[in-house]
Structure 1
Amino acid sequence: MQNLGWRFHTNHGTNIVLSNDGLTAERVGGHDYGIVVADQPMVPDVLYEIRIDKRDPQFMFLRYMPCGVVLTDPDHLRLPGTAYRGWGREAVVISGAVYNRGHTEKNNLNDATLNLWKGTRVGVMVTTKAELHLWVNGSDRGVIATTVPTPCFAFFELRHRYKRVSILLSTHLG
């Protein structure tokens, strides 16, 4: 494993507080506006992975953890309430279904980012073939989207039951 030095960008959702030198993000306040984005473009064949450190016990109903890649540099990103409603053609969002730059592509991922527990690891990786992969607990869930443009930035959305996450060391898998 190597540490590529990525952190969460200082441009993040309004209900996010960063700590641990940008390696930990916690949602405070309401249950939305919890988007965090990598502070640098993704390196091909490198897994960008987080660990769920804390869940919010008041949200016991099932909820997804949206994640994926955004194509806009975080310095210029206008953060919406939720990624899949606000970014449209500027993102590939995994949230039950896959929303690839404004179009629903797959609907067979219903359990991939659903009902994740404390300690669960979630990651995204873009390959040199421009394929987006989702990883859960060290398991590759396969190609989620193809022809993903570069540069792109990993993002994770802390909403409802997901309260705090931490960045793990990056893994080069190519």
Structure 2
Amino acid sequence: MKGFVVFSLFLCGLLIKFDPATCSYECEAEHNSPEALRINVFSKKTRTGKWQTEFRAYKDDSPLEEDGYFDVQVTQDVVLCGGRRQVTIQGKITSLEVNDTFREKELHFHQSTGNNVKLFNAGRTAEKLIVTETGYGLAFTHRPLRDNELFEVILEKKTNHFKNSLGIGISTSSPANMIVPKFITEVPPPSWSMYYDVIYHNAQVARRGYGKSLDTLVVGDRVGIMRRSNGGLHIFINGEDQGEAASNVPPNVYGVAELYANAARVTIVKH
């Protein structure tokens, strides 16, 4: 059984009691307050029978270049009461400062990610919540890439649950304006991506046998993607250009790292 709740609250400590039978909750924050946050809450039962809740916090009124990051610490208690499941969630939200220079120059991940991703390290690190889940691991750059700008991540954690590992790509759509899908190939077109040694344009195979397979990457390896000013798309592995992967790519594209299959954590490399 799964539940999904969206609500707003102030930047402060909080105590929320949610009854799924009535969909009621206690929250006195005004929805139009500039201090209000929107919290996505996703509860589901794990294979061990325990309930797990995932949170993602963001401000509705934040411009794209002024994303806010928040440290959310929560606990959850689930009890059966009168034949109904009652969920009590208690947590604390602390804002993290991001200076203007960082916002303008340094790439970090956009707050809108796949449901199986958490961000930390001031938005530079993306980690998979459930490592046995193949998809829902997308993390986008917070702004479009500049011409000849390298979006590069380092693989910091890898599991051995699957045969494949990691995906990287670009999207012409802002993550702020989409429901983040399961895979890069499912983002609104046009998009380009690489899995294994295969280049995809939208959901179609555009090229096979391109460069070094991403499945062979080990912890500590780096993979990057760049749109050149001539519209050529290039992918880099450990700093080595794998050649042109696509041409006639439009400007203003967002970089996308995907914690696909065995890839469990990546961090954006500073340049």
User: Which one of 167, 170, 174 corresponds to residue 268 of structure 2?
Assistant: 167
Aligned-partner residue type, residue 191 of structure 2: A
More divergent stretch after superposition (122-131 vs 110-119)? 110-119
Question: Are 1:117 and 2:224 matched, yes or no?
Answer: no
Q: Distance in 2 between matches of 1:107 and 1:46?
A: 25
| 1:147 and 2:254 are equivalent in the alignment | no
Matched residue count: 165
Query: Could you tell me which residue of structure 1 aligns to residue 206 of structure 2?
Result: 105
Point out 4+ residue stretches in structure 1 off by more than 2 angstroms.
87-90, 101-104, 109-112
Select the structure with the greater relative contact order (CA < 8 A; seq sep ≥ 6): 1
What is residue 119 of structure 2 aligned with on the other side? 18
Please report how far the alpha carbon of residue 115 of structure 1 lies from its aligned counterpart in structure 2 after TM superposition: 2.5
CA contact (8 A) 1:17 1:26 kept: yes
Residue 49 of structure 1 corresponds to which residue in structure 2? 152
Q: 1:56 to 1:108 in 2, by over 3 A?
A: same
Structure 2 counterpart of 1:77, which letter?
M
Q: CA deviation at 1:116?
A: 1.2
Query: For the residues of structure 2 that align with 1:140 and 1:25, how far apart are their CA atoms?
Result: 24
Q: In the TM superposition, what is the alpha-carbon distance from 1:90 to its structure 2 partner?
A: 2.5
Q: Secondary structure at the match of 2:189?
A: helix
Instruction: Give the TM-score taking structure 1 as reference length.
Output: 0.88
CA distance in 2, matches of 1:107, 1:159: 19
Which amino acid in structure 2 is aligned with residue 14 of structure 1? N
Q: Which residue is 2:230 aligned to?
A: 129
Tell me the distance in 2 between the aligned counterparts of 1:35 and 1:26: 10
The structural deviation recorded for 1:88 is: 5.8
Q: What TM-score, normalized to structure 2?
A: 0.58
- How far residue 81 of structure 1 moved from its aligned partner, in angstroms, is 1.1
The answer to whether structure 1 residue 90 and structure 2 residue 90 are counterparts is no
Contact 1:88–1:102 (CA<8 Å) still a contact in 2?
no
Opposite residue 94 of structure 1, the aligned amino acid is M
1:37 Cα offset (Å): 0.5
Name 1:28's counterpart in structure 2: 129
Cα shift at 1:66:
1.6
Structure 1 residue 112, shift from structure 2 partner: 2.9
Give the distance between the partners of 1:169 and 1:146, measured in 2 at CA.
Answer: 26
Helix, strand or coil: the match of 2:122?
helix
User: Aligned partners of 1:50, 1:146: CA distance in 2, in Å?
Assistant: 23
For the pair shown, which has the larger CA radius of gyration, 1 or 2?
Answer: 2
- 1:142: Cα distance to partner? 0.7
Letter of the 2:227 partner, please give it: V
- The residue identity in structure 2 corresponding to 1:51 is I
8 Å CA contact retained: 2:163, 2:261: no
